[in-house]
A and B are shown apart, each in its own frame.
Chain A
């Protein structure tokens, strides 16, 4: 069973993501800030991470850096789910190593779940790429 770590501070977004992922047969872990995310990854390595950027404490950029600098973790696909829609935030996330970037309000949740499936079934490489999905 593939394990997905949701790093998000908003309860209602966690619930929506968790319900969809569990319905599709994934195991789900939850972290509500950057430090907790790193602790959870250390405890049990996830197969994919859904990551918010703006969170109390350490933010999503910190988590990406921690993951991508570790030889054991760097292959874990990181999909950023944020409502920061500026080009600068997107560029920064992709530069530090995020694999994908979704502006949450602009995409149906099914699109995110489909992307998770694509990564985990190997239909999508985990190499960093420019992401067109933030466009309206």
Chain B
């Protein structure tokens, strides 16, 4: 009797197992799916086989209305500019056909802002900003379907807008008094209010310097915050390296002359062109050059050069100045960090220049590194991925 009872119990458990599995799955889907996260499962043809509550809330579609329907048709997608993404260009069909292994998006330490952002269209044709991760389901080596998880990022977008508005206002409000001090002192320097004594001028010089330092600090802090917000839009174009050098050397010529530092440019690779954002590239090389000048002694030289490596173009700025103490080198790209010897040589530095340069480099897919020896000098490198060697016919070369 006991044996029969045990068999019955085992059978019952076996029958209940799929139901239990189902209940667990349902519980998982429900618990991950609050009002901002949708989970949708499709079969290998892209037809919806399961959705969670979050999907229903976000898209306005009810479960019964969408089961068995094509996901890409149920929720059309628009890109950031409001342009409809054609079905065949969507990631899901590519994953289901095995063309790509998973959606390229990964959640990084900086959160979902790094994921590509797009808009999904609801049942009532309204839309919301979203970002998604899609992964295939495989069984015995074959793709049997996929799971897409997408998030409503309306709140993040709104916060970003508020932050940008605040930044804009803060930058305006901080700059106004600083520009007032600057212009009033410059007017006094001009002598329109009468001549000043030597001592008065000396005091005014100090106030002017402090004010310039503040202006620079405000500028750098705001640049950093803006970059964090990824406000800067990359404007790619084909640019000639020789004209780029010409422009960037002109920008720092006055500072070099003032310090009696010779700027050298070996003029190699005159014909070299590169496809990138000219303004960003100029800002990075300009930062390297300004630092090289600041940390050189009068009479020394600074060399701006470029060379080609397989797959990349390497820009370099070399100086023979103070160098960076070895123990401090790993901290050079930290925000506000300044090497101990740099503080003595240039008390007005903000410690933000290299941090900004590094962020800018990342934006254009480039990389920064340096070699340095204390009291012998430093060389900063920018490794740019190379797209084109010579301008193609018809492509515009920015001069």
Q: Do A and B come from one complex?
A: yes
A interface residue numbers (CB < 8 A to B) = 10, 12-13, 15-17, 19-20, 23, 54, 82-87, 89, 103-106, 108-110, 136
B336 at the interface (CB under 8 A from A): no
B187 at the interface (CB under 8 A from A): yes
Contact of A20 among B168, B190, B219, B222 (CB under 8 A): B190
**Shortest Cβ distance from residue B154 to the other chain A in the assembled complex, whole angstroms:** 22
27 A–B contacts from the bound complex (CB under 8 Å):
A12-B184, A13-B183, A16-B186, A16-B187, A17-B183, A20-B187, A20-B190, A20-B192, A23-B190, A83-B171, A83-B179, A84-B168, A85-B171, A85-B222, A86-B231, A87-B233, A104-B176, A104-B179, A104-B183, A105-B178, A105-B215, A106-B219, A108-B183, A109-B182, A109-B183, A109-B187, A136-B219
Residue on A with the closest CB to B216?
A: A136
Contact residues in B for A13 (Cβ distance below 8 Å): 176, 179-180, 183
B172 at the interface (CB under 8 A from A): yes
Bound together, the chains give a CA A110 to CA B190 distance in angstroms of 9
**Shortest Cβ distance from residue A62 to the other chain B in the assembled complex, whole angstroms:** 17
Bound together, the chains give a CA A104 to CA B179 distance in angstroms of 6
B175 at the interface (CB under 8 A from A): yes
Residue on B with the closest CB to A83?
A: B175
Contact residues in A for B193 (Cβ distance below 8 Å): 19
Residue on B with the closest CB to A135?
A: B279
Interface size on B, residues (CB 8 A): 22
Bound together, the chains give a CA A15 to CA B185 distance in angstroms of 12
B176 touches A10 (CB 8 A): yes
B interface residue numbers (CB < 8 A to A) = 168, 171-172, 175-176, 178-180, 182-184, 186-187, 190, 192-193, 215, 218-219, 222, 231, 233
Contact residues in A for B218 (Cβ distance below 8 Å): 105
B168 touches A86 (CB 8 A): yes
B171 touches A15 (CB 8 A): no
Contact of A105 among B175, B187, B190, B233 (CB under 8 A): B175
Contact residues in A for B187 (Cβ distance below 8 Å): 15-16, 19-20, 109
A103 touches B175 (CB 8 A): yes
Contact residues in B for A83 (Cβ distance below 8 Å): 171-172, 175-176, 179
Residue on B with the closest CB to A112?
A: B183
**Shortest Cβ distance from residue B111 to the other chain A in the assembled complex, whole angstroms:** 24
Residue on A with the closest CB to B176?
A: A83
Bound together, the chains give a CA A17 to CA B186 distance in angstroms of 11
B180 touches A54 (CB 8 A): no
**Shortest Cβ distance from residue B81 to the other chain A in the assembled complex, whole angstroms:** 16
A110 touches B186 (CB 8 A): yes
A15 touches B215 (CB 8 A): no
Bound together, the chains give a CA A6 to CA B112 distance in angstroms of 47
Residue on A with the closest CB to B214?
A: A105
